[in-house]
Amino acid sequence: MTAAQSLLAVLITPLLSAALIAFFCRRLGTVASTISVLAAAGIFVFSLIAIRGAAGEDVSISWTWLRLGDFEVSMGFLFNGVSATMLTMVGFVGFLIHVFSLGYMAEDNARARFFGGLSIFMFSMLGIVLADNLIMIFVFWELVGFSSYMLIGHYLNTEEAAAASKKAFIVNRVGDFGFLIGIVYAYWHFGTTNLSEMHGIVAGNRELISACIAALLMCGFIGKSAQFPLHVWLPDAMAGPTPVSALIHAATMVAAGVYFLIRIQFLFPSEVLTFIAWLGTTVAVYAGFCAYGQNDIKKILAYSTLSQLGYMSAAFGLGFPGVALFHLITHAFFKALLFLAAGSVIHGCHHEQDIFKMGGLLKKMPITAITFLLGTLALCGVYGLAGFYSKDAILIAAGLQHSPIFILLTLGAFLTAGYMGRLFWIAFLGQPKSEAASHAKESPLTMLVPLIVLAVLSVAGGWIGFWPEQLGGLIRDNLEHLHHLPDYDTMHHRVLILGSAAWVLGLVLSLFFYRAGAKEDRLEQQAAPVYHFLKSRLWFDEIYGFYVAKIQQRFALFLSFIDVFIVKGIFVRGSAGIVGLVGMCSRSLHDGNIHSYVYWFLAGLVLLWAVASGLL
């Protein structure tokens, strides 16, 4: 198999699985889940074959999709080091999450729909990873949006899931609108949307880089990666099944926004990069604060995801796309682990999600608890674990270039350790605080194996020296570059000290403040205004709600008035009337009388001659 064939196989496998499930196994949950898991395994295997086949070279293939005279639309793959890294991560983590879902969704009635959705999601996500032009990326971008909508709304009959899926879809549309305009503008500006060709054009003439195009394309990233001000959909999206949260809303889809930025980083001028760095930093700190106001285990993790996405975009904005990719990969490992462990907890506690109703889970579910702890430590950036290496690199990059961002990101690291400590101490230590928690049992093996594998990766995933040669080229280059900057050594020591202090302080202070296995939130008791302020998340949802209900709704009513009375009443009815009238006239022409037909025919001939000779 050549690299091109195996890449095609990577893309076709999940599509085939989705089609099989949709057409033949809608009521056969077990068969559907087997097909989907096998497809996920197939993706991973084919990815490895593709990487071997490519042997470190860039593979770029394209097919002409449409050709009209001299206008051509092509579809194709651009498979380089970055996409190989991303493909391996998506394939592997995706496979583990599929396996986990086998156990987690075993009792669900609509399993076939769920696994079909996972397959269609994998198809769309891999499409984004491999696509070589903006139009194709956009098509798959919308497809992940659709599959995310479908999977968030999996529990159809709960109000919350329906509202959340709608919200995620609509908020993403806002970002995609900018993205779409950006694509059109880019096509107009460069005459192509192919990534390699645009790179060539921009490399030839730096003047052609347009801040406007970059800013418009960035809108797509803001929507998909849930950055400020479109971050509101991500916490709500936790209404979906937990494996979905792990796969889509932590490891892959939300990171696709960052991945997209890395793919098109050559299009970004420095002012847009600075903007992205500040945007990311703001989100990193803001989301860190918000997490303190949440009691739902998944929502805390969702805010943590937001905050880590902020770190990634800060790294990208500071001019280190490789570092952003590094954090993306390590984050995928430990955040998928945290979500899956949370899923295991939720499964064990009969769908209890409030951390203040858990407690004592360390004894009841030891493997889940230990893997969760490892994930937490990796997230906090404990020395030697995966998160340490990537976060460290981001902090060093910030420290060397931009002190205010450095200070804020370090604060963010402290906040991370704090809310993760709060979550762990309260949920896993102490005594069970509810009926459900006291009957919690360790989850079955299909769920524990993915947890253990991910835990190993959360520990070892950051040891970039041990990565296979073909993966992470850009990461190594960027790190190398970072190491050779002036003042690297001093900054490295400072970050080591400050970073370690941040997590130690965060974990310890949260233990002393909240107490292990606490029944109530001490922050709420002791400083209620602060707690409620954090819980309100700066009132973004309320502001958007007000805007939609009071301003947009009124405008819509006004438009609907115009629509009903003027457009429908006069234009549509009127023109339909005219068309109908003409139609009736022309129908009376066809009166069925053969004599008149013959005369019409001859009259037509005369008419034609009149036109031809210029009389008419």
Q: Which residues bind other proteins (CB under 8 A)?
A: 63-69, 71, 576, 579-580, 582-584, 586-587, 589-590, 592, 594, 597-598, 600-601, 603-605, 607-609, 611-613
Identify the residue whose tokens are 């009736």: 584
Cβ neighbours of 31 (radius 10 Å)? 16
Measured from the CB atom, is 536 or 596 closer to other proteins?
596
Q: Least CB distance from residue 594 to other proteins, whole Å?
A: 6
Q: Least CB distance from residue 72 to other proteins, whole Å?
A: 11
Closest CA to 376 of 464, 470, 458: 458
Measured from the CB atom, is 56 or 580 closer to other proteins?
580
Measured from the CB atom, is 147 or 510 closer to other proteins?
147
Would the CA dihedral through 36, 37, 39, 40 be positive or negative?
Answer: positive
Q: How far apart are CA 129 and CA 115, in angstroms?
A: 21
Q: Decide: residue 435, CB within 10 A, 0-12 exposed, 13-18 middle, 19+ buried.
A: exposed
Measured from the CB atom, is 8 or 479 closer to other proteins?
8
Measured from the CB atom, is 351 or 585 closer to other proteins?
585
Measured from the CB atom, is 229 or 577 closer to other proteins?
577
3-state secondary structure (DSSP) of residue 26: coil
Q: Least CB distance from residue 593 to other proteins, whole Å?
A: 10
Q: Least CB distance from residue 598 to other proteins, whole Å?
A: 6
Q: How far apart are CA 241 and CA 105, in angstroms?
A: 8
Q: Least CB distance from residue 323 to other proteins, whole Å?
A: 39
Enumerate residues 6+ apart whose C-beta is below 8 A from 341: 368, 369, 371, 372, 375, 451
Q: Least CB distance from residue 191 to other proteins, whole Å?
A: 17
Q: How far apart are CA 588 and CA 267, in angstroms?
A: 62
Q: Least CB distance from residue 61 to other proteins, whole Å?
A: 14
Q: How far apart are CA 13 and CA 41, in angstroms?
A: 10
Closest CA to 347 of 600, 144, 518, 102: 102
Measured from the CB atom, is 63 or 466 closer to other proteins?
63
DSSP string, 160-182: HHHHHHHHHHHHHHHHHHHHHHH
DSSP annotation of 444 reads P
Q: Identify whether the C-beta of residue 12 lies closer than 8 Å to the C-beta of residue 20.
A: no
Q: Least CB distance from residue 607 to other proteins, whole Å?
A: 6
Q: Least CB distance from residue 57 to other proteins, whole Å?
A: 26
Would the CA dihedral through 549, 551, 554, 555 be positive or negative?
Answer: negative
Q: Decide: residue 522, CB within 10 A, 0-12 exposed, 13-18 middle, 19+ buried.
A: middle
Q: Least CB distance from residue 611 to other proteins, whole Å?
A: 5
Q: Least CB distance from residue 587 to other proteins, whole Å?
A: 6
Q: Least CB distance from residue 572 to other proteins, whole Å?
A: 10
- Within its chain, how far is the Cα of 179 from the centroid? 15
Measured from the CB atom, is 75 or 209 closer to other proteins?
75
Q: Identify whether the C-beta of residue 188 lies closer than 8 Å to the C-beta of residue 216.
A: no
Measured from the CB atom, is 466 or 601 closer to other proteins?
601
Measured from the CB atom, is 547 or 609 closer to other proteins?
609
Measured from the CB atom, is 65 or 555 closer to other proteins?
65
Helices (H), 357-472: 361-364, 366-380, 386-401, 403-428, 435-438, 445-460
Give me the residues paired with residue 60 across strands.
78
Helices (H), 25-109: 29-54, 81-104
Measured from the CB atom, is 555 or 597 closer to other proteins?
597
